Chain A
């Protein structure tokens, strides 16, 4: 369904002070026009953009999230936080996809302080993209509340992700190709599934239980999971003492 023509998306933009914010300023100074969708949050470095910022913005029904940093190799800071922004965006997109949010609603771009025209072009293009996708949830074909549940589970997963990131998801080469290679490696997918996706699924099952669902079938239906997957996760949760399985019914353990 085509989105209504009077739809005015809101895109939350996290711009680094040194490059992309400067590019946005230069677009202004040069009077390059672009659609009025972006709401800018200025940070010193794109590496400061926490996964939680992204999930929070979507949970509050942002139609899009934009992250703008310095070109790779040009970060103002020694630790080159823009590589971390790149890594985070790979991970965030993967999680968004998993919980049913169209990952195209998140965009990361490198814009230097001298690229006013590029900033305007990126905004025009991303603005058109989001406008075509329609309001948050519409292109996904999901209820916003359902997506918000997923985002809630994703947010709860962030501390855990940060813990395993250093051990298991450290990108060995700080180059664009290095990141691309790492996130498309054959062993990345199973690892990500094992460490992140399964955790996320379990978090979402817990959320469904808290919301009052009690049968594995109902949970599978609500979360659009394969019933076998739900059973597997429930088994694990039961072993961890988080849930009690009781003649086809599930209930939360007291501790949970």
Chain B
């Protein structure tokens, strides 16, 4: 035997032997949304993951949020299915209430010492019944509710917590002076163990992903704006809890001083952010503008007569759909956005109202508000310095994790990766795509270990209920207040109990909470239910979770239906409570009628073609293609131009000063030379056929047509720079775009460098009626070019005419630097755009720019030798056609539309197709790289599997009724139906593997011989009849 092979076998054996000996592939440290996503991706790609979290549950900051912008999705509702997935995933070893003590070793072979803090509760014994919580006499402020309500010394962190077990905090009387142990007395499971000690556990892993997250800025030390002095000054995180139905007042906005509804609320932006004063952070926190708008919209919904004033600096609506979200908040009645610095005056001793002084065109005014919300920024985790020491990683000058702009997921220590807000302030989707990307990189070096430590999930055997009468259980979810506040849930439950075949009805606060899902499983078993209706939210997000719950209970997962009484009822008829209650009853009646007729179905396993196709050969496409190829997958890279590189070919340096050209050159070389990457240039996709795991795409290049079979596809077709029609562009050679200026600066263009005065005009061709979005990159681009120009020619005068400066995150540093280097910033209003006039005086030609300065209230005239237009980033040509071929949608602005704005930022609703780069939305190079790794990471979860599961809801022909007319065959373009010879002659037959379940054939069959499982005529008839039963 060859030595290499022997060595490999020995390695395998060693790995297997130590599988139960604290051995894993990857450790993810931090159980917020980024850590959860990384753990889920890696575990489903065949790696064993340790997920370590310092608090008693996973969930992180996202679990504290009420809603998420810009869709106002309920934050817990979209995050908690991931908790359950984490809990049920056998390849994730969850360690909560743990710190990291040390990290030794090297990439591929780390030993991490985990410090398990004592919960004083035996996790495996606790059932989460909370009897102990009832009896515990000690009331303490609840950290989950920002200390705005009380909880007990022993409690569960929040009701959807994973693991759903209690923990005991320091305020416990026993821990203080052994005066009480009532919890021990009442616990029937003997789960309380005061003898627990902190314990060190050594775990061996190959790589680490550090997702330590952030803290919100604490305004207490400086008493910012009276916080800590005046009761009715709260932080935005406090307000988030006030808004939330699981918050201190069940979703009633009550102010702290007198627990009354405030009717006049002020928000103050940039608290702790964009401050150079001691105790503040100089960077922009990137999320506060939009979350404030979210809070205003939600507060207005709670309190329709509320007056709100939002005191802001620049409004930074730089993300996808943020601009529209801002407009939505602006348009609300009695909501006023005021651009002004403010100071807090005093607290009215009688009313508790707080006064704010701000500037208006008529001077400074002082006004009282009933509640003041501080939009606090994001700060590094408190223990970041300790993490830096323990993990041996560097921090940047802001105290966040130091990363390489060309690989923002790599820390300074090899083998340790990072994602999420520990990299710097960011929004949820960036944290999620970074997680998938970090997963892809961490798993790269462990690719040979894939699948060795992982195990498949085992479900209980499915019971045969074919002989049973339908026994339907109906679970009515209150969804906190989302459903419960609008409709009469007890009345609905009582009604459901009277419907045919319904044998059990139950209400729950959150049907999707871990304990509820488990309780539903238990109830199904205990009550012998064979069908289940959950009346809650949309099946589009929650059906998989509840189907899984049925499988856990040994019931076929197709015996399930969701009655959507939230999206289709309480959320859209919130002002008509009676009609909404009636409608909810109707919806449930329809669902029960359907469920009675449901049939058990089996799913299919389809093979996965382990080849990838990446469309678009820019930095995004090349990065994903390279990541996939390095992991061993054949990858086709299709590029429209005759060379790879895309937009980056025109860019020269990043804001941080990195050399883009040498980076792109190096990347192109790696891609062109990679044996598993097949780069096809001058190419276009002309046809796409197939489905997840089995696509067939036709690519045309230089007259040659080839067909590529692949299992996954990544769309990375980028974006273009808008060619302005405004500001004399194309008519005067002094006028150029930002990208053109960059090219001139890179080659030190003498004409440009001769300019004594440069005027940059921002927001050209966007944030207008034609393009109602912010192009995200131009403000930073202006800083970059202005600083470069200043470096080449310090005496040049530069004026930036802007609407809002949107240098979000650490990019703010460069805005500060530009201001310090005497770049002048002059704001203009969109209704008064700058006017240009080409002039020649004294033998010198120049352009005179006239703009109205809203602060000075007068017109300024600037004579410029160069005019730089920050031209919009627009969707690349041909996006629409490509979208149609891949059956994926475009958003209203023409960019590709991801499956979910927050939690599925690189997926499409259509399985097997992924998205990255500026094809999704304008973004900076480092963001593109992160997203490209992310898309590759998501594609890896598919390509690393041998099979994908296909739905059991497919068509079948009852041969007896088939009249061989061929109507079904002619409409099925999937070719899933064929005639076969039977004893009764030719009959149509469905190949279930090819059937996609659209059911078009069913509506064409004259004899009803063909049927679509799960959407049969009988099932639909029952729904129709039930809908109209009461007329």
Contact = CB atoms under 8 A, between A and B. Distances in A.
A60 B1003 contact: no
Interface in B962-1016: 965-967, 970-974, 996-1000, 1002-1008, 1012, 1015
Q: Which of B301, B965, B1005, B1006 has the most CB of A within 10 A?
A: B1006
Contact of A45 (B569, B897, B965, B999): B999
B602 interface: no
A61 B996 contact: no
B564 A112 contact: no
Contacts of B1027: 10, 12, 39, 41, 57, 60, 62
Given A39-B590, A43-B999, A165 B1004 contact: yes
Interface size class of B (residues with CB under 8 A): 35 or more
A136 B996 CA distance: 36
B458 interface: no
A79 B998 contact: yes
Interface in A68-91: 73-79, 81, 84, 88
A29 interface: yes
Contact of A112 (B583, B889, B1028): B889
A51 B1003 CA distance: 8
A160 B539 contact: no
A171 B538 CA distance: 36
B586 interface: yes
A118 to B, nearest CB: 10
A10 B1004 CA distance: 27
A175 interface: no
B127 interface: no
Contacts of A10: 586, 1027-1028, 1031
Contacts of A56: 1021, 1024-1025
Contacts of B538: 21, 25, 28
Nearest to A40: B568
Interface string A32-45: 11111011111111
A78 B587 contact: no
B722 to A, nearest CB: 22
Interface residues of A, number: 61
B580 interface: yes
A106 to B, nearest CB: 14
B1020 interface: yes
Contact of A31 (B571, B586, B892): B571
Contacts of B909: 18, 22, 113
B756 interface: no
B900 to A, nearest CB: 11
B138 interface: no
A233 interface: no
A49 B1003 contact: yes
Contact of B1024 (A47, A48, A57): A57
B71 interface: yes
B887 interface: yes
Interface in B541-599: 564, 566-569, 571-576, 579-580, 582-583, 586-587, 590
B408 to A, nearest CB: 29
A166 B568 contact: no
A84 B571 contact: no
Given A53-B1020, A76-B910, A44 B997 contact: yes
A48 B965 contact: no
B398 interface: no
A109 interface: no
Given A113-B889, A114-B892, A45 B998 contact: yes
Given A8-B579, A60-B1031, A74-B884, A88 B572 contact: no
Contacts of A224: none
B186 to A, nearest CB: 42
A162 interface: yes
A28 B587 CA distance: 15
Contacts of B1003: 47-51, 84, 88
Nearest to B570: A28
A199 B709 CA distance: 49
Nearest to B573: A36
A165 B118 CA distance: 73
A8 to B, nearest CB: 7
Given A39-B587, A162-B1005, A28 B566 contact: yes
A49 B996 CA distance: 16
A27 interface: yes
A74 B889 CA distance: 7
Given A34-B572, A114-B889, A159-B1006, A61 B72 contact: no
B540 A31 contact: no
B590 A77 contact: no
B288 to A, nearest CB: 22
B414 interface: no
Contacts of B587: 39-40
Contacts of A201: none
Nearest to A57: B1024
A4 to B, nearest CB: 14
Given A44-B998, A73-B884, A31 B574 contact: yes
A61 B572 contact: no
A50 B1002 contact: yes
B540 A17 contact: yes
B73 A29 contact: yes
Contact of B973 (A24, A32, A51, A78): A78
A45 B1000 contact: yes
Nearest to B328: A30
Interface in B919-965: 953, 965
Given A28-B572, A165-B1004, A47 B567 contact: no
A120 B1002 CA distance: 30
A60 B1028 contact: yes
B1017 interface: yes
A62 to B, nearest CB: 6
B71 A24 contact: no
Given A77-B998, A81-B1000, A53 B1024 contact: yes
A26 interface: yes
Interface string A1-26: 00000001010100001100110111
Nearest to A61: B1031
A8 B586 CA distance: 13
B967 A162 contact: yes
Contacts of A8: 579
Nearest to A9: B1031
A36 B583 contact: yes
B1023 interface: yes
Interface in A233-254: none
A255 interface: no
B974 A79 contact: yes
Nearest to B892: A114
B71 A29 contact: yes
A79 B576 contact: no
B568 A38 contact: yes
A163 interface: yes
B304 interface: no
A53 B889 CA distance: 29
Contacts of A33: 572-575
A78 B689 contact: yes
B891 interface: yes
A120 B572 CA distance: 9
A50 B1028 contact: no
Contacts of B573: 33-36
10 contacts: A28-B571, A39-B583, A39-B590, A48-B1015, A52-B1017, A60-B1024, A62-B1024, A73-B884, A79-B998, A166-B966
Interface of A: 8, 10, 12, 17-18, 21-22, 24-36, 38-45, 47-53, 56-57, 60-62, 73-79, 81, 84, 88, 112-114, 120, 136, 159-160, 162-163, 165-166
Given A8-B579, A36-B579, A48-B999, 4 more contacts: A17-B540, A39-B1027, A41-B1027, A78-B887
Across the A-B interface, the 9 shortest Cβ-Cβ residue pairs: A28-B567, A48-B999, A162-B1006, A60-B1028, A28-B571, A47-B1000, A39-B1027, A45-B998, A77-B998
